[in-house]
Chain A
Amino acid sequence: MNRRDILRRTATAGLLATPAAGLLAGCATAGGGDKKDGDTYQGKKSEQNPLGVKEDAPLEVVIFNGGFGEEYAKAHEAMYQEKYPKAEIKHSATQEISKTLQPRFVDGTPPDVVNNSGAGQIDFNGLVSQNAIADLGELLAAPSLDIPGKTVKDTLLPGTVEVGSYDGTFLVMNYTYTVYGIWHSTKLFADRGWQYAKTWDDHIALCKQIKAAGIAPWTYAGLHPRYMSWPLISTAIKFGGPEVALAIDNLEPNAWKSDAMKSAADAWHQIVKDKYILDGSPGLDHKQSQTAWCQGKAAFISCGSWLESEQADVTPDGFNMTVQPTPSLGSGDKLPFEAVRGTAGEPFMVPAKAKNVAGGLEFFRTMLSRKGAQDFTRKVASLTVVQGATEGVELPYGLNTVVKALDASGANGFNWVYNNYYRKLERNLVDAACGEFFSGRIGPAEFLDQCQRGADSIAQDSSVKKYKRAA
């Protein structure tokens, strides 16, 4: 893929768009009122078929071929097929969701189910502001496929609907449940007699001890330094309460410079100042830094709960990775030590112009059934957003610690969504600031300044749609 290719593709996509744009000039502004042509599939709604799936309607599913692979989706498709044997299912998997699907969105012929994930993810802000995603409200109200007496909504873990909602409309079904925390090897810590520290002062003391033992306390993905923004913001939220995240998500003025963020940035600056970070980390990508960590070159790393499956091929036997919440800053913290960031991730959507919207929703219902969720957890060792779906499934070591961390966190769990609302803010702007901060080129005040400047630039950009959340 070179520059000319991109220009060409962008332009060819535009070529498709223009005649349509001319013809639909009236319709398009009327909010997609051109959908009621005979092309869409709609069956009769009944108790057995609450979403009104047309049983012989074809279903096209596009999966992001990343850490989870595509086999789990094939299993879900087989379950769908079982229920609708006449439906023809077209499955494809790609790593380049945006480049592959962009022309089809413009053309008005998108697939029915899209797993919009990975580095080539389509910015949700753009999709939502163009009304390109179907409302999944009906799915929430539909009865669960195999959990009797409950609607789909009742079976979901708390926060799932909120994360996928834009201005109150549920548009994105995030399928996995991800916990973000600080990871260490239980074996390494047991061998050396170290204890994970619950307060920041103890953490720094432990870092000193680890460094004295000839191991770097920390490493991080220097080429994707936003990984380090997660524990930093988590520290701030535990110190100042969930309002810290709310202000950041709502792009409130000086949200990044709140007292809580200042305290957190000051605290984290300690590991930079005292050189508790593995040499060369700023030049490592996520895989390289995680591998250095698996090799025992560093004690801590910040990551989400996909870490275990991502590292499966290089993790030594008995390494036993464990996730822990970020240490508390002090006794004044609003949230207890156990509070951890948990959120629904791995987004799936049904394009608004899909031919088989009902089929897409039904496919989600299949994924969210107990059977579908358990199969997923078994296949890819990751939690789903379906409550209690891990019962009876044997989990690998790391995932077990994730479940434990979630249980301990309970109602104190927290999350933020600015990265969903404004992809650029996290991926580009906060990312760049983290790179400067954790390599020691700037101090905490400049770091927060740079983040705030990024947030302000998004707030002032009139071409970006803004979202607010209440709590």
Chain B
Amino acid sequence: MRQGRLPLIISFLLPPLVLYGVFVLSPYLQAFQISTTDWLGYSAQADPVGLANFRTLLHDGYVWNALQNNAILLAVVPVLTIALGLFFATMLAMGGRKGRAGVHGVRGTAVYRLVYFFPQVLSVVIIALLWKELYNPRSGLLNGALGALGLPTPAWLGDPRFAFWCVLAVMVWSNVGFYVVLFGAAMQAIPRDIYEAVLLDGASRTVMLRKITIPLLWDTVQVAWIYLAIAALDGFILVQLMTNGGPNFSSDVIGNRMYDTAFGSETKFGYASAIGVVMFFLTLSVAVLALRAARRDRIEYS
């Protein structure tokens, strides 16, 4: 067996490692190099300019505006998504009442699970177009309902007061389903007898959630937090398709700025790479911080 192991390891590890190196690592490294040039993307000529791109970036109001929006996404999206995800997962796993003993989900749990997962099955592009129509101020579902109730009908994506929050809502909506399933699966792993014990002690459902479920799910929540934080620093697809950063840059995000700089209204690939490098470090720091902040002792069931 021993002799056979090395070739096996190599044959399993090498191809993915090479692929990873060629298609992930080297482009990332390349981006660093490009970010120090004035490359315009359509010729082989790229003159090194040192850190000039980063200096420009420091004074680029549009980049700062985009970063500010990403900061709001970072603060709001994970909290909202995890809170909603936990709430729904709890309801599905133990929200049922009916006065019966033990822990049950609400009626129709299976159906809800399926429905919540729908957005996850749809491509993000479809989600963006779907919601764009929903927000249509004239024939959209939203204003249709508001109008029927006699309420004011804003222009949603056309109004800088709402556009960004409209996109944010879609981001939460499209993510919640996945975390309901994730948290739900983690809850299955929590031994039932713990719940039955606290129920006997007369704990309410909120106490159960706060004192039992969340501490025991902490690992999963932490992972969710990191995923969502990284997603919040992105937000590119939804923004690009729904508002393209508008109106008047009110819903711009850093990914959209980078795209626009390279492929959109300009061809400044050097500068766009500099934005990419900044994004890379931001994402990395956020991931590390999220890991640190959420670190707790692991609880093992035995």
The residues of A with any CB-CB pair to B shorter than 8 Å are 1-3, 6-8, 10-15, 17-18, 20-21, 24, 28-29, 98-99, 102, 105-106, 108, 120, 122-123, 125-127, 129-132, 222-223, 225, 278-285, 288, 292, 297, 423-424, 427-428, 431-433, 435-436, 439, 441, 463-464
CB-CB < 8 A to A222: which residues of B?
Answer: 155, 158, 247
User: A130–B258 contact, CB under 8 A?
Assistant: no
Instruction: Give the shortest distance, in Å, between A182 (CB) and chain B (any CB).
Output: 21
The residues of B with any CB-CB pair to A shorter than 8 Å are 23-24, 26-28, 30-31, 33-34, 38-46, 124, 132, 135-139, 143, 153-160, 234, 236-237, 243-244, 246-249, 255, 258-260, 262-269, 271-273, 276, 279
CB-CB < 8 A to A435: which residues of B?
Answer: 158, 246-248
**Pick the contact of B155 from A132, A280, A427 — CB < 8 Å?**
A280
CB-CB < 8 A to B30: which residues of A?
Answer: 11-12, 14-15, 18
User: B138–A280 contact, CB under 8 A?
Assistant: yes
Which 5 pairs from chain A and chain B are nearest by CB? A280-B137, A11-B27, A283-B158, A126-B267, A282-B158
User: B34–A284 contact, CB under 8 A?
Assistant: no
**Chain A residue at minimal CB-CB distance from B244:** A223
CA distance A220 to B34 in the complex (A): 40
CA distance A120 to B264 in the complex (A): 7
- 27 A-B residue pairs with CB within 8 Å: A1-B237, A2-B234, A3-B234, A3-B237, A6-B255, A8-B23, A10-B272, A10-B276, A14-B27, A28-B43, A105-B41, A106-B41, A106-B44, A108-B44, A122-B42, A126-B266, A127-B267, A222-B247, A223-B247, A280-B153, A282-B155, A282-B247, A283-B154, A435-B248, A439-B155, A439-B158, A439-B159
- Given that A1-B237, A11-B34 are contacting pairs, would A105 and B42 also be in contact in the complex, using a CB cutoff of 8 Å? yes
CB-CB < 8 A to B45: which residues of A?
Answer: 21, 24, 28-29, 130
CA distance A428 to B264 in the complex (A): 10
User: A126–B40 contact, CB under 8 A?
Assistant: yes
Instruction: Give the shortest distance, in Å, between A288 (CB) and chain B (any CB).
Output: 6
User: A283–B135 contact, CB under 8 A?
Assistant: yes
CA distance A292 to B137 in the complex (A): 11
CA distance A21 to B39 in the complex (A): 10
CB-CB < 8 A to B264: which residues of A?
Answer: 427
- Given that A8-B23, A21-B46, A283-B159 are contacting pairs, would A463 and B38 also be in contact in the complex, using a CB cutoff of 8 Å? yes
User: A10–B262 contact, CB under 8 A?
Assistant: yes
CA distance A288 to B237 in the complex (A): 21
**Chain B residue at minimal CB-CB distance from A120:** B263
Instruction: Give the shortest distance, in Å, between A413 (CB) and chain B (any CB).
Output: 27
- Given that A130-B40, A435-B246 are contacting pairs, would A284 and B266 also be in contact in the complex, using a CB cutoff of 8 Å? no
CB-CB < 8 A to A122: which residues of B?
Answer: 42, 267
- Given that A2-B234, A127-B42 are contacting pairs, would A280 and B158 also be in contact in the complex, using a CB cutoff of 8 Å? yes
User: A98–B38 contact, CB under 8 A?
Assistant: no
**Pick the contact of B44 from A20, A123, A279, A288 — CB < 8 Å?**
A20
Instruction: Give the shortest distance, in Å, between A127 (CB) and chain B (any CB).
Output: 6
- Given that A6-B259, A280-B138 are contacting pairs, would A28 and B246 also be in contact in the complex, using a CB cutoff of 8 Å? no
User: A17–B249 contact, CB under 8 A?
Assistant: no
CA distance A24 to B43 in the complex (A): 11
**Pick the contact of A14 from B31, B154, B255, B263 — CB < 8 Å?**
B31
**Pick the contact of B263 from A2, A98, A424, A431 — CB < 8 Å?**
A98
